[in-house]
């Protein structure tokens, strides 16, 4: 009986994951992880400019999204082996269809009925509860200042921000969010190479090193301990849909401007990860 119940739970979990693409570490829309990393960098630059009272560069304001991608990654591409290219391309196309057939329609419908302040509050909440991932990896990389900021932001946002739905820490320049850290970056910081490029169904682009990192981060994510399993999957699914609602159009723009979307996304992912490790 226990065996049948376990099989039922696994099948049900896979069904929910297929519909809504919830994942153990970072939910996928084909370029969502990359878009979020770029958005974090832009937000941090804007926050720094406001703190130092530096007027925004007018040339940057005139740049389109495509120009930003080109400028950000026009330097030498990171060379990583891709021995599983047939598998990776198949999974890329699978995730591509999943995005257009399931994730995007759900995100568009959700965006149409959910006010901006609710979606932003949900985004703040999930970022707040995943603080352990960033905090522990800051400590593992001996980034004491960043670890202190992560802890301070968590305390302020959890208390004054009502469990993290608000983000009052953003009002304090000294508590500006540091670069997000994860175990994949920590392993890279200790000198472990990428290994080879790998695209997971649902989870999206990764490398052997980052896949190991995702598995480790799973145990630092509080959502992983929610019971029953269906509830945990549902929470991740909701987080996925909410996050995607902020990035509708990003993947479409990348795909439209690229001759080979698979290669373009691989190069951007690898370059973003390399840049984050170097910081």
* Tokens encoding 45: 């630059």
* Tokens encoding 169: 């820490």
Q: What is the mean pLDDT of residues 46-66?
A: 45
| Higher local confidence (pLDDT), 271 or 29 | 271
Quote the pLDDT of residue 35. 54
- Mean pLDDT (the chain) is 82
Residue 202 has phi, psi (to 5 degrees) of: 75, -50
* Residue 37: band (very low, low, confident or very high) from pLDDT cuts 50, 70, 90: low
3-state secondary structure 235-257: HHHHHHHHHHCCCCCHHHHHHHH
* Residue 59: band (very low, low, confident or very high) from pLDDT cuts 50, 70, 90: very low
Residue 246 has pLDDT above 70, yes or no: yes
Angstrom distance (rounded) from CA 181 to CA 148: 13
Q: In Å, what is the CA distance from 126 to each residue of 165, 246, 249, 273? A: 8, 14, 22, 22
What digits encode the pLDDT tens for the residues 134-167?
999 999 999 999 999 999 999 999 999 999 999 9
Q: In Å, what is the CA distance from 170 to each residue of 48, 82, 176, 214, 276? A: 12, 40, 6, 27, 21
8 A C-beta contact, residue 276 and residue 182: no
* Tokens encoding 119: 């979606």
Quote the pLDDT of residue 65. 47
């Amino acid at each position: 009986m226990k065996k049948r119940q376990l099989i039922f739970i696994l099948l049900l979990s896979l069904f929910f994951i297929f519909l809504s693409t919830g994942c153990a570490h970072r939910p996928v829309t084909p370029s969502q992880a990359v878009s979020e990393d770029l958005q974090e960098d832009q937000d941090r630059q804007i926050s720094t400019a406001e703190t130092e009272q530096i007027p925004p560069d007018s040339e940057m304001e005139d740049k389109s999204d495509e120009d930003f991608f080109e400028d950000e990654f026009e330097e030498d591409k990171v060379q990583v082996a891709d021995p599983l290219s047939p598998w990776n391309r198949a999974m890329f196309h699978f995730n591509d269809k999943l995005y257009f057939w399931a994730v995007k329609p759900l995100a568009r419908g959700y965006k149409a009925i959910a006010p901006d302040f609710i979606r932003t509050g949900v985004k703040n909440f999930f970022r707040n509860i995943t603080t352990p991932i960033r905090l522990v990896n800051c400590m593992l990389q001996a980034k004491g200042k960043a670890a202190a900021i992560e802890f301070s932001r968590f305390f302020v946002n959890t208390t004054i921000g009502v469990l993290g739905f608000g983000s009052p820490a953003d009002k304090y320049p000294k508590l500006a969010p540091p670069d997000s850290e994860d175990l994949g970056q920590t392993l890279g910081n200790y000198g472990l190479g990428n290994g080879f490029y790998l695209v997971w169904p649902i989870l999206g682009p990764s490398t052997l090193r980052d896949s190991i990192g995702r598995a480790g981060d799973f145990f630092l994510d509080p959502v992983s301990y929610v019971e029953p399993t269906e509830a945990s999957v549902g929470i991740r699914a909701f987080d996925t849909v909410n996050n995607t609602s902020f990035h509708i159009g990003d993947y479409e723009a990348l795909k439209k401007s690229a001759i080979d979307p698979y290669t373009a996304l691989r190069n951007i992912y690898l370059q973003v990860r390399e840049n984050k490790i170097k910081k």
